[in-house]
Chain A
């Protein structure tokens, strides 16, 4: 069921068009993968949808009408990549802050900590965490947020293979429990592991949207022979 619809989102930095009429839909309870190479506009798209970067055009529809800023804040939480928020505070405090300040999901705190393997890190300050540990802590903060849609920018960045699989399983579990996840991923293999549907982004434009089979059919129509997601992506972008 269509939950949100992004329509004609455009963002320009001076003469450079970072996003050009980007449109796609987000369905309730799905894991949507936003796939694109570095510089394709994934982070810009997330920042515009998250309300931390003004867009030059386009709307975010909830049902048939555009969401107001307050409705957007209540619907979507954007988890940025490569940040070290509250570096001098402990992981425990950061999780409590997510629950206390944002009115987060206190009921799933222990589950989130367990699934993301944060138990041993709870008393560590965020600045002292490794890249992978920090990513897991940030994902935990994101998962505790009260908004029904979590947009995570590069959720597997900095994680090793084992951690990537564990985090993918955790994200899958929370999606199965009803959480809608939109994940920006530049490693197509990682995306294939966890996502239900995909939006292909290249050069600031949407090149395709759908399940793996739908995209494979689209790619086949353009002459692609393989059903491998990487080949599909290359055929469509």
Chain B
């Protein structure tokens, strides 16, 4: 009987069946529970102790935010799984057709190559969503303890990890299509992952352009989302990279096209992706979804800063590895860029660690220039930076309202979490595997 389902639906259904019958995916699912469990249990314990559990000083955790205290560490398990487990699931799904010979048959359907890879990516993403139910179980547990859940910030953390998974899937698909053997694809994928870590390391040492590039590595991207910050440039760059990876995969999966043509098309895709990423880097829009406004100044300060029309230039004499530079960037400059997109920050240093520059007369100075006015400060806190800016801008220091985030302390132990993540989760996965295998048999 002729089925009326479209070819694409058949392909998606086939890819799903292949995913479900792949051991790599079941291993990923099995590992997710304990991975999330370890992070969640440890996070809840620390959060509870800081909130006064087990006789520790109550009140220490008054400014505790579940975003930083619970969600960032709990979801970090997804980052590990995305780096070390998901690539193998993706490579298996893409390379499997090549290894088995199914690709030679499927390529004889007139479906565009991008649709073929799209079907695989869609299924891999759905498979990742199933694995994602582990951190979602952590949210339910936290809620059951009476913990506070602020949906926008949880959604932001989840979005970061979903984008990261998308990047991994696109990378795995590209390497699996480019290489003859899955093991080569795995080595290539892990090399790219390690390569992004090297970029982060070089950025930490050298700063400058490297620092800018490192802002778009998966690790840095996830970190932004984990702080409750949705940056449109980072999101667009991630989407451009995902699209480029999947397109490369689609190009190289076409066995019947000459290598020369595939190389030319790949170069064109790389050029378009590079141009798109370059353009995205100029986008300044961002949203702070954290309940504590961790990425923003107080609203009164933001209102005051918006009154400043002249372009602000900051010159900070701090080395890339100086902790004060990290403080300045994350506690003040990052927030400042969100309110004053035209702010220009220039870091000046002769060395990477700054240790031997301390005796230099100007080291540690932060110069602010607005129009023809200039001032210097050595403070790297948000308050210090704001004070310097207000002084040269001639803007009165706004009166702070008493609407500061007070935190959600919760002094509870991670009750039942071990049972869920180390017992119920693995048992459910094993039962699921047996159920699927029995249905097939």
Contact = CB atoms under 8 A, between A and B. Distances in A.
A101 B7 contact: yes
B18 A88 contact: yes
A85 B100 contact: yes
Interface in A60-97: 70, 73-74, 77-80, 82-90, 93, 96-97
Contacts of A100: 3, 5, 7, 10
B2 A73 contact: no
Interface stretch (B103-111, B195-203, B213-221): B103-111
Contact of A52 (B3, B97, B104): B104
Nearest to B21: A88
A79 to B, nearest CB: 8
A83 B108 CA distance: 15
Contact of B104 (A70, A83, A88, A99): A83
Contacts of A51: 107-108, 256
Of B7, B105, B109, B255, most A-chain CB atoms within 10 Å: B105
A93 B106 CA distance: 15
A141 interface: yes
Question: DSSP majority for the A interface?
Answer: mixed
Contacts of B55: none
A54 B109 contact: no
A93 B97 CA distance: 16
Interface in A81-137: 82-90, 93, 96-97, 99-103, 106, 125
A86 B13 CA distance: 12
Contacts of A88: 17-18, 21, 440
A114 to B, nearest CB: 16
A145 B102 CA distance: 14
Interface in A7-55: 47, 50-54
Contact of A85 (B101, B257, B259): B101
B438 to A, nearest CB: 13
B120 to A, nearest CB: 14
Interface in B96-129: 97, 100-102, 104-110
Contact of B18 (A50, A86, A103, A125): A86
What bracket does the count of chain A residues touching chain B fall in? Answer: 35 or more
Given A100-B3, A100-B5, A78 B108 contact: yes
Contacts of A74: 110
Contacts of A87: 100
Contacts of A52: 104, 107-108, 255-256
B14 interface: yes
Contacts of B101: 80, 82-85
A12 to B, nearest CB: 12
A82 B101 CA distance: 8
B437 to A, nearest CB: 10
Contact of B11 (A47, A70, A83, A101): A101
A212 B1 CA distance: 40
A54 B100 contact: no
Contacts of B108: 50-52, 73, 77-78, 102, 145, 147
B2 to A, nearest CB: 4
A111 to B, nearest CB: 14
Contacts of B109: 73, 101-102
A80 B104 contact: yes
B10 A97 contact: yes
Interface in B238-273: 255-259
B102 A86 contact: yes
A117 B100 CA distance: 24
A90 B17 CA distance: 11
A78 B110 CA distance: 14
Interface string A147-160: 10000000000000
B1 to A, nearest CB: 6
A139 to B, nearest CB: 13
Nearest to A125: B440
A88 B259 CA distance: 31
B105 A141 contact: yes
Contacts of B106: 101
Interface of A: 47, 50-54, 70, 73-74, 77-80, 82-90, 93, 96-97, 99-103, 106, 125, 141, 145, 147
Q: Which 7 A-B pairs have the closest CB atoms?
A: A83-B101, A85-B102, A88-B21, A101-B10, A106-B2, A100-B3, A51-B256
5 contacts: A50-B256, A52-B104, A73-B109, A88-B17, A103-B2
Given A86-B102, A93-B17, A141-B105, 19 more contacts: A51-B107, A51-B108, A51-B256, A54-B257, A54-B259, A82-B101, A83-B100, A83-B102, A83-B104, A84-B101, A85-B101, A86-B18, A89-B17, A89-B18, A89-B21, A96-B3, A101-B11, A103-B2, A145-B108
